[in-house]
Structure 1
């Protein structure tokens, strides 16, 4: 009997720990996020970024997309977790490769992480958050996203480059021009310190 009770307690403890470990510290509504996207010229992009960052250089038919996000301070610090900001071309599920960012703190990075495939698995509308797939077992980075490790890095302004490529290489999956505002998806996700996907929310598109 004692052995059975011990097994039951162990199972219950594991279930409770898993629930606690994956339970979001707070929801998106706590942040009161505001956001915007617009197509801009190089001059407009540089003016929006200010003196803290240089806008990506655009040539010919290249396009620049300006994004702005702001949020209220959350009730708890990120403590090893982070916000992931995704800008995705919905036609291809590709992300831009080049960003410039202006934020009050130096707490915004640019890149990708394999752990974010969990976002794509959980949210079908956010498939572009994960790696691009080729065949059954080939994966490749699908452009970049922004990750925010300091919850005080608001307001945040970014400019993304959509280069015009006459014949895009299918083996290099990145977002390219021409792109219309209706093609773009802007999303915010919250991941925990162990890669837990707490939530993801569509902001634009």
Structure 2
């Protein structure tokens, strides 16, 4: 009888522990607000070098050469009142044709120290969760995982609006697949712009398709 009672108590403790773990995961991955709270918008257009330089000043925009295309973009939102600034964003530009991102992005904002460009593991999580973001994370080439493209990192809700310039270069024959990025020629409608909300521990809360 005592053995049976001990078994029942043990099973009960396991169920409580399992329920606590599930509850913690739900709380940990629960977004403090949804995408509609920000009212985020995005614009993207083809421009010349002078326009790109003026929009990015005092940050230097990448210089375009013959056959290159310069895309000037802007992502803006309104900070919801009363929110703690403990998360971050990723802004991704993805060529829907090749499922690749630009190789380099220049970015600035009213708070330039709160924006940058690069890649991290949150992009892998986002592309696994959202099929329309396939291509923003690492990809396997010959048994190794590579990330060639750039995304924008925003570390503060107060960094809006974010202005960026990316230059697409014509494809170069013989480029290794692990180094392949989005290439020219491209139309504005070919490039998807999305905003990804990331929690303080790198958890992906949500992704919103802003353009195309």
In the alignment, which of 75, 91, 95 is matched to residue 101 of structure 2? 95
Cα shift at 1:138: 2.7
After superposition, what is the alpha-carbon deviation per residue over 1:138-186, rounded to whole angstroms, capped at 9, x for unaligned?
Answer: 3211311001001100111110111224426142121111111121110
Offset at 1:124? 0.7
* TM-score, normalization by structure 1: 0.92
Partners of 2:19 and 2:35 lie apart in 1 by: 29
In the other structure, the counterpart of 2:89 is 83
Residue 130 of structure 1 contacts residue 142 of structure 1 at CA under 8 Å; is this kept in 2? no
| Local SS of the residue matching 2:61 | coil
CA contact (8 A) 2:79 2:158 kept: yes
Q: Which residue of 1 aligns with 2:196?
A: 189
Aligned partner of residue 57 in structure 1, secondary structure: coil
Aligned to 2:206: 199
Residue 16 of structure 2 is aligned to residue 9 of structure 1: yes
Distance change >3 Å, CA 27–CA 166, structure 1 → 2: same
1:87–1:128 distance in 2 versus 1, CA, 3 Å: same
Q: Name the residue aligned to 1:120.
A: 127
CA–CA separation in structure 1 for the residues paired with 2:196 and 2:10: 43
Residues 90, 183 of structure 1: 8 Å contact kept: yes
1:27-176 correspondence runs (5 A): 27-49=34-56, 51-74=57-80, 75-79=82-86, 81-105=87-111, 106-134=113-141, 137-167=143-173, 169-171=175-177, 172-176=179-183
Q: Which runs of 5+ in 1 are unaligned?
A: none
Could you tell me which runs of 5 or more consecutive residues in structure 2 were left unpaired when the two chains were aligned.
1-7
Taking a change above 3 Å as real, the CA distance of residues 7 and 165 of structure 1, as seen in their structure-2 partners, is: closer
1:79-105 deviation digits (Å, cap 9, x = unpaired): 2x3100000111111111222112011
Larger Cα Rg: Structure 1 or Structure 2?
2
TM-score (norm 2): 0.89
Q: How many residues align?
A: 202
Q: Return the offset for 1:17.
A: 0.5
Q: Give the aligned CA root-mean-square deviation in angstroms.
A: 1.5
Q: Which deviates further from its counterpart, 144-153 or 156-165? A: 156-165
